[in-house]
Copies of this chain bind each other. A is one copy, B any other.
Amino acid sequence: MHLHLRDGGMLETVGPLSAETFAGAVIMPNLVPPVDELQKCLAYRERIQAACKSEAFEPFMTLFFRQYSRSELEAAKSHIIGIKLYPDGITTNSEGGVRKIADAEDTIALMEETGIPLLVHGETGDFVMDREERFLEVYDHLARKFPKLRIVMEHITTQGAVKLLDQHANLFATVTLHHLIITLDDVAGGFLRPHLFCKPIAKRPEDREALLQAALSAHPKLSFGSDSAPHPQSKKECCGCAAGVFTAPIALQMLAELFDKHDRLPNLQAFVSDNAVKNYSVRPPAKKVLLTKQPSEVPEAYGDVVPMCAGEQIGWSVEKITD
């Protein structure tokens, strides 16, 4: 869930890498220009399927939030699994996003009526370590005001978001691999490490701990969303580097290692797949991935994209994949 596949050459590079070990993914619509019309969405879906070259991978499409009419939503409904709301300017290609939540509420009300989930990048424009925490009141407000709307807090990074999950029946969340592993310390505590720089930024140790406990216990309202977000190496290792961590091809192996380390392997299936299937109401194609406790090495790069843990050894491998 929650995957950035980009477009063009980058899609060609990263599409097959995600399609290999995953049966489906919620595709983010923050292209330039954004995917904000059904026709753009259907065309993008075709490009993704062509690039991924796999029957056993389903791209679950989303639209970029704007004011949509009832007829637009009704026409789109069977083709998308949700609409992704970005506050304006908050992350990569989010320009043109929402400036005031109040202005978005007409469309949100229509989404509730037509049964289209709202996926949210939940950050304000405050100080970087406070952005998600300050956004929680928006989630709280929306969850109360639109009780039949399914809201997914995408890529949560704070203790506060984990707590909020239990306060509203219609609130769900995803969490990334990297936010289960790193804190701001890993990004800027020693050397500055651009390949671990992402939005929302990795937070404090107590935040990571809360996320980790929720994931390891397979909290039913939380599912894995990699937020795997490729950028070319030149955009990551430069004077003002782009935000995003690329994890798609190593995510399952690293999650297996993490759950094994905490003796919670039996919960991995629910966290990665079952919870997502329920929470997003999706039906991915059948796919079995056999993971084994054999070390594997993470490549230095996939094309010109440097993954998390590039060149490092991880404890688990993919042994076999069957459709």
Contact = CB atoms under 8 A, between A and B. Distances in A.
A15 B256 CA distance: 53
B191 A240 contact: yes
Interface string A192-211: 11110100010011000000
A251 to B, nearest CB: 21
A233 to B, nearest CB: 9
Contacts of A129: 129, 184, 204
Interface string A231-243: 0000001111111
Taken together, the copies of this chain in the complex come to: 2
B240 A192 contact: yes
A321 interface: no
A109 to B, nearest CB: 33
A9 interface: no
A169 interface: no
A201 B185 contact: no
A275 to B, nearest CB: 30
18 contacts: A127-B184, A127-B185, A127-B205, A128-B189, A129-B129, A129-B184, A187-B188, A190-B240, A191-B241, A191-B242, A192-B192, A192-B194, A192-B241, A193-B239, A193-B240, A194-B241, A195-B239, A237-B239
Interface of A: 127-129, 183-185, 187-195, 197, 201, 204-205, 237-243, 306
